[in-house]
Structure 1
Amino acid sequence: MAGVDLPVLDELPALGAMLEALRQVDRLVASVLDTLILLQDTGATEAVTGVPLEQWLLIVGRRTSTERRALFAAADVLRRLPALKDAFDAGRVSWPQLQVLVGEVGRLPRRLDVALDAAVDRLVDRCEGADPEAMAGLARWLVRDLTARHPDPDEDRGPEVPDESLVLQPRLDGTGGRFFGEANGTNFALLAAATDPGPAGPGARDGFGRAGDPQRVREQARDRGRRRLQRLVDVLEHAAAHPAGDATGDAAVGGGRVPVRLVARLSLEQLCDGRLSAELLTRLTGGRLRLDHAATTRLLEERPGLLRTVVVDDAGAVVGVGRRSRCAPAWLADALLAVHDTCTEPGCDVSVTACDLDHAVPWQPAGRERPGGTTDVANVGPLCRTANRTKERDGWTATGRADGTRTWHHPRTGLTVDTLPATWRLPTADLPDPDPPTGTDPPTGTGPPHDARPAVPLDQHGRPLPF
């Protein structure tokens, strides 16, 4: 996607000009980073001016500390990953996409650079048109896969155990109070499931791809908070009325009794080799909580009755699910929870458990030209209530695939974009072996050590040449 070339933009040249200007911003940033790398590698800035490069960016460039860190971090990663630098220089990766990639992969040790560069090159080939958040999710998978395949034997990988607590803070007048606390992944997911207020009401947005009204968003957040607290109170009241040992142990909610249940996503590879790292699916922002091996094992051993597990293979496809029906049964709905974390609308971050189940190709046939779609993992995916009700009205069509990927197309404008499921990942088994360790890594974002930098070129009088 090296340029903006959509015929519909001829009808609205201002939009085309704005989009092209954003691409020009990317090219200018690429030029800035090329020069930044050169100045870092030569050390010429401070040698010639006596002022560090960062001060020039602050005083003359008027960049904030966050922007300066982003530029230095990007320069460091591009120096390490030449294939990524080529993709950015060629316009295949935008500046926002590069920033999220840098944030995810920049912390990996330099001994993995060869494998990492090959993996990121594949990632860009597969989804250069993806939104930055989706690219960040793919980069997180890469980081996890590469560190699992090439662990550092000297690194202490002991799990971090939070200091769990629940703090109650009453008001001085005795009319109530606030509470807050800290919990591990299992207990936090249990609390979220037990107090789940259910699907949200009418959305705060007016159509597919539109931003929500801030006031309506705040009102919905307050309403969900009130309903979540009421759920917690209902659970506690029921527990008080039916103490331990009572046969009726389900949580009383909304006049009925709904058992608490957790849905976990397990990797087939991890399940086979005994690592058992899992993710618990929730309605919370982001849609999931990660569990390490110890927490997953403890959950399976101590609370198996609460858990439904869905296993996915190394391509992100659900293992053992393939039955078809018009309305998705509970097992298929749980399988979709394991494939997706959020709504499949481009750019939407509504948690999957707060979404409707939508057929990419409508289940109802529309004549001989358009047969009905199937009800399976390939064709059914989560879609928030607003997008589900307005996508056809706003001119969008979708095509699903077995790995959970959806391609959205807008015939009126020619726009096409892929949304990728949370389980989609790049194959890493055949990547090049990492370079052997060569010693301590240099500090991130500061360029190579001073003694590794090329000498500053001098003129005939021994003075540094200007740049």
Structure 2
Amino acid sequence: MQQQSRREAELIEGLHSLHFVLSVTRRKFLTIISELDERKLWRDQGCRDMAQWLSGRIGISQWMAGRWVNASHVITKLPLISAALESGRLGLDKVLELCRFATPETEQELIAWAKRVSVATVRHKADVFNRPQLEEVRTVDKARFLRWWWNQGGASLGLEGLLPAAEGAAVVKALERCAERLSESASEETSSDKLSAEDRREQRYADALCALSSQAIAEDQDADRATVVVHTTLESTGLGSAEIEGGLGLHPDIAQRLSCDARLQFVVTDDQGNALGIGRASRNVPRWLHRQLLHRDHGCTFPGCGTKMFLKAHHIWHWELGGPTDYDNLVLVCTFHHKLVHEGGWSVCLNGMAEWYKPTGRRYDPGPDPPGERTVAA
């Protein structure tokens, strides 16, 4: 027992030592971010701002990168919070939120308060402080987003979004109203799991969202745009390997259920399963081919971007120069990066995946250089 206690004490001491090292490093990290932003390095790297460049460079979300960039500038005016981060008295997450509303006059009191509360509490206070005024409604509206991702190899879908308060209230009311109308499924009634009332309510909200989405698709007059596409191979036994658009595997039984009342789409492909396209018949990309590009690229192909809105299908070999409207001559780009190609001197090619090249001809790789190797910004 005594030896075990000694080992636990050593581990805790090691944890504290490493925490201090990380704290010092994080403070230096913010200093570097601030200087890089002031130098506008991101302008020559094909990015909209420092947050997008940082996101692609070190592989974090643009939301988090935005927090870091903001804190890197604000913390220079908050010497007490800066010292609290560097000494390890406050963690980075709390500091990022404090930098959204702290002032030199309030930082000492806020440090004492932040040490006693959770990160969520600090973030909530920052959100309340930054609650938009009437003149800021337009800015808040521009910040709205909804994103989703597939978990566990495609077994489940995660959702994350941000809406202005008024629109968010409408969404909540619709979900609550639809959930009230849904009858409990037999699986809920017979389930041996002891679910709490909160768990059951959250399940019904999930069912309500699915019901509302299905209803919207059913009522859409444009059948092509309202199609949930399932990619599958045809085999003698019926539906073989299948996946929902997005690369998510489906069990054959589920694929068969979907095929009962779904519009099936057939696409001519090569021996590798790639859609062939329409050649020189037209420069305009048909919807079925655009869906194939979404299936492959998932969004803007510029490293670190990934935008899914306002996408353009860019001809790698330009149409005017004889390039075909084919699967292997198209890549998806957002409006910003489409302009970068045509007017900024950048280029992109397909080599298994999209590769981007700077006007200098050097391939753009946003990831960090291996330790010890000099970073080349050109």
Shorter-chain-normalised TM-score: which range?
A: 0.3 to 0.5
Greater helix content: 2
Give the TM-score of the pair, scaled to structure 1. 0.33
Work out which structure has the larger RCO, using CA pairs closer than 8 Å and 6 or more positions apart in sequence.
1
Give the TM-score of the pair, scaled to structure 2. 0.40
